[in-house]
Structure 1
């Protein structure tokens, strides 16, 4: 357990240094012994952390030369990509790119869910929507965000496709942080409640095309709200 925590510490430290640009693309990481000294851990711990960076595509090994940083297009860790784009890219574009991805995934999820959703899931969605309304009236942003995220998670699960929730899970922390920012704006809360009600109505009607359209409209409204209230 202790070594696993040490590995995580080294891994997080190196990943953050790569994201921050301390080690640019194609530059070498410090040697094993240097990293042992920097992090005050064993060589085995350093090797395990480097192994994870390899698995996530952040670095590559070049025989006889060392370990080098890969360009972001080769990274396979979604959280690392999101953090790097947030640190190095245009925050407005990052937010809009995330919405585009959600539009593709969640629109399809809503269409599938309309065909497969059961009464229990519909009841859960209705409760979450009421929670959003109550939280908005009480100016409880934290409760609003929890219900909002729960609403979307319920739809992903109701799609019946096991891959969709797994694909979205790495974004959970990013989405929660983004919702906390946007949901502090009363106008955005009002729009979200309206759009979620339309999505629920389409799901309850079993209309896949209408559910996809309603989810797409929600994402479009979110993009407009971001541009108007948050990243103008």
Structure 2
């Protein structure tokens, strides 16, 4: 059990270096001898750690050439992908793809919520918007992000689909990181508040089509803001 734990530590440290950009996709990672010396472990421990990352398709072995870092699109570990998306240095594609994922799931959740949302849910949504507005006026990014995340969480649960909220739970850390990054821009805050009000109006009207369209417009604005204000695309 102790050796397995040590293998995990070495695998995590190597993944940290990959995520940090020390070993970009397509590059060769150091050999067993170099890694065993750096981590002060046996070559067998390093070999098992490498196998762990290979099983997650983070690394691939080409006989006679070495062990290479795979592009993020090939990784098979959700945890590793989320680490790369929240901590990576060159993750513009991951940022865009995260919004694409949200668009696919949240528009549907909003459509479902329109026919199921309770008066208590609507009141909570309105309160979260008020908190966002107050935080915007005080330039309190942390409070703004907290209220923003809470607003969307109410809708996910109001959809009545248990799978939706469960699917989003692992994304919380990366969503918080992304929101903090984008919400530092006052214009993005203003856009978000306006779209959240439109979403609330659609939900209060009990109109599924309008609710889907309102959330879809919000996701499009989020994508546009990311490209224009953060990525400089």
Q: CA separation in 1, counterparts of 2:115 and 2:5?
A: 44
1:36 Cα shift? 4.1
Is contact 2:85-2:174 (8 Å) kept? no
Judged with a 3 Å threshold, the aligned counterparts in structure 2 of structure 1 residues 184 and 59 are, in CA distance, closer, same or farther, namely: closer
For residues 111-150 of structure 1, what are the structure 2 equivalents within 5 Å?
111-150=111-150
Q: CA separation in 2, counterparts of 1:84 and 1:143?
A: 22
Q: Corresponding residue for 1:214?
A: 214
RMSD: 3.5
Q: Corresponding residue for 2:40?
A: 40
Q: CA separation in 1, counterparts of 2:122 and 2:69?
A: 47
Is contact 2:28-2:66 (8 Å) kept? no
Work out which of the residue numbers 69, 86, 89 in structure 2 matches 1:87: 89
TM-score, with length taken from structure 2: 0.77
For residues 96-107 of structure 1, what are the structure 2 equivalents within 5 Å?
96-107=96-107
Is contact 1:79-1:171 (8 Å) kept? no
For residues 48-197 of structure 1, what are the structure 2 equivalents within 5 Å?
49-50=49-50, 52-59=52-59, 69-81=69-81, 83=84, 86-88=88-90, 91=92, 93-197=93-197
Deviates more, 1:101-110 or 1:74-83: 74-83
Q: CA separation in 1, counterparts of 2:177 and 2:85?
A: 16
1:175 Cα shift? 2.2
Deviations 1:69-123, CA, capped at 9 Å, x for gaps: 545433122453462795345x3x5433332222111111111222332333323
Gaps of 5+ in 2: none
Q: CA separation in 2, counterparts of 1:120 and 1:84?
A: 34
3-state SS of the aligned residue for 1:87?
coil
1:61 Cα shift? 7.1
Q: CA separation in 2, counterparts of 1:135 and 1:71?
A: 38
Matched, 1:30 2:36: no
Is contact 1:8-1:49 (8 Å) kept? yes
Aligned residues: 229
Gaps of 5+ in 1: none
Judged with a 3 Å threshold, the aligned counterparts in structure 2 of structure 1 residues 35 and 141 are, in CA distance, closer, same or farther, namely: same
Q: CA separation in 1, counterparts of 2:194 and 2:116?
A: 23
